[in-house]
Structure 1
């Protein structure tokens, strides 16, 4: 992709390998500064104590954000057995200690009950709103936070390593939207009649975005001196890879831009991406051949 010129719009996806210690909002701020994009957002929060894939949408790509937030995700995480914390990770204070270290065979035997659709109570330190306030704010203020269990999808879960001396197990999980890995680690430990919390969390994939496409903030800082940070932008349609694309003519594109509907009886039913040549035009909904735009791209 060509480098950004003065006054040029910046549209696309940038995949950042977020380092430890920074919040997702801080990474967004850094990318906005480096690229000078007017609109920037991230596709799924990573805690400061987590590293890995943080998809950043710039410009018109922010209109595709819901499709990334709802995408499945891969994580590597380590459970430290023997103690629990109020945040279910290293950031919080120790609540209980003295739990036993399970056997590797016990861990492996417990994992099948955590695959498929499971009920999960989010951590008290989460961004879920309770009576209009974020749960983590209430928890930090010393209030008791009671969150309801909700169904989440665990597609794959396996044990990758076990260190009995350290009392730690490292696992890999593929999960659906709304899953809290900290809760998963806590619940696995409880199922083993012990205590546990996350000591390492790294996100390996978000939807179509994996580590092979990621760039570090250090590399972006280097590129910013030559105004080449935007060279690492991917197309906005990357987030829509699973949605069928339908080609339209320029006159049809003009109708969509004006808020009108199209009659496309042969197009696939449901959500589609309208393309005018190589340029994405809109995310649209096709109902019995009547196509109405949901999000129109200003490209």
Structure 2
């Protein structure tokens, strides 16, 4: 089975737990996830199956959307409320001051990764060092906040409900922490839900128990997204049957091999199919009317 499953990761599971459970449910080994979610977080986790694992890196790069609750007035060692409380400070900022501070994080943003993260330094994950009581210097990384919407500010509970559209590599825990620092009272993430990864939406996701039920009913294929669906924005071309051996062997192909002529810019990528409408992979236009394979899925 090849393709992508839009999994709803439930609270308490790591992303690796989800993959391990799916290996048992689907009775297959070649499965990979497309970016970690904290155990306490919930939401969209695209999981790649079979030849679909070749697009794991592509999906990891995609834009994501989160809904989170920021708790003001507290800082923790993990930057969320699961961690050890380091400080508690009275929140004196007004609603307008909170709104202004949050708005300052839109756009390009240099973010220091948290110690409790899976990033590696000298072959060791940061969270492993953190659990040993060690803290090391981390270099800021550029991330991008495309949109930051305040759904609600509860001044009694000192909680802010946010929707965040962001680039890959953005830590929402750290964003909450940094907003709290900007306000001078500290902040930590209370809840996190990922509602979108590229075109994979929360409302279209399935829990592990729902996936298991579909598998037992022989209906899993109904929810597995074909690999070529990810490349729908690219032109579709079909190779004539007499040139089948070229695509089967992963060779470059001439535009003359195509069933229908197509106008392409140098460097433009296309979806290539054989005469049986089987998806072969992504090719890129080169000089001399050639198409070079970029990623093959057969």
Q: Report the TM-score, using the length of structure 2 for normalisation.
A: 0.90
Report deviation, 1:225. Answer: 3.1
| Bigger mean CA deviation after superposition, 201-210 or 65-74 | 65-74
Task: Give SS of 1:16's match.
Answer: strand
Relative distance call for 1:242 and 1:191 in structure 2 (3 A) is: farther
> Structure 1 residue 271 and structure 2 residue 262: aligned?
no
In the alignment, structure 1 segments of 5+ residues that lack a partner are 1-9
Partners of 1:253 and 1:281 within 8 A in 2: no
Choose the corresponding residue for 2:81, options 80, 83, 90.
90
Equivalence map 1:256-267=2 (5 Å): 256-264=247-255, 266-267=263-264
CA-to-aligned-CA distance 1:81-122 (integer Å, 9 cap, x gap): 111111111222112222425332222212332111111111
Match of 2:230 in 1: 239
Q: Report the TM-score, using the length of structure 1 for normalisation.
A: 0.90
Match of 1:290 in 2: 290
* Distance (whole Å) between structure 1 residues aligned to residue 2 and residue 144 of structure 2: 32
Task: Give SS of 1:174's match.
Answer: strand
In the alignment, structure 2 segments of 5+ residues that lack a partner are 256-261
Match of 2:130 in 1: 139
Task: Give SS of 1:114's match.
Answer: coil
Match of 1:59 in 2: 50
Match of 1:106 in 2: 97
Match of 1:182 in 2: 173
Match of 2:32 in 1: 41
* Distance (whole Å) between structure 1 residues aligned to residue 98 and residue 242 of structure 2: 60
Relative distance call for 1:231 and 1:30 in structure 2 (3 A) is: farther
Q: What is the aligned length?
A: 289
Match of 2:258 in 1: none
Partners of 1:99 and 1:195 within 8 A in 2: no
Superposition CA RMSD, Å = 1.8
Relative distance call for 1:47 and 1:251 in structure 2 (3 A) is: farther
The runs of at least 4 consecutive aligned structure 1 residues that moved more than 6 Å come to none
Task: Give SS of 1:152's match.
Answer: strand
Report deviation, 1:147. Answer: 1.0
Partners of 2:238 and 2:277 within 8 A in 1: no
Task: Give SS of 2:214's match.
Answer: helix
Choose the corresponding residue for 2:214, options 205, 208, 223.
223
Match of 1:6 in 2: none
Equivalence map 1:152-171=2 (5 Å): 152-171=143-162
Report deviation, 1:211. Answer: 1.6
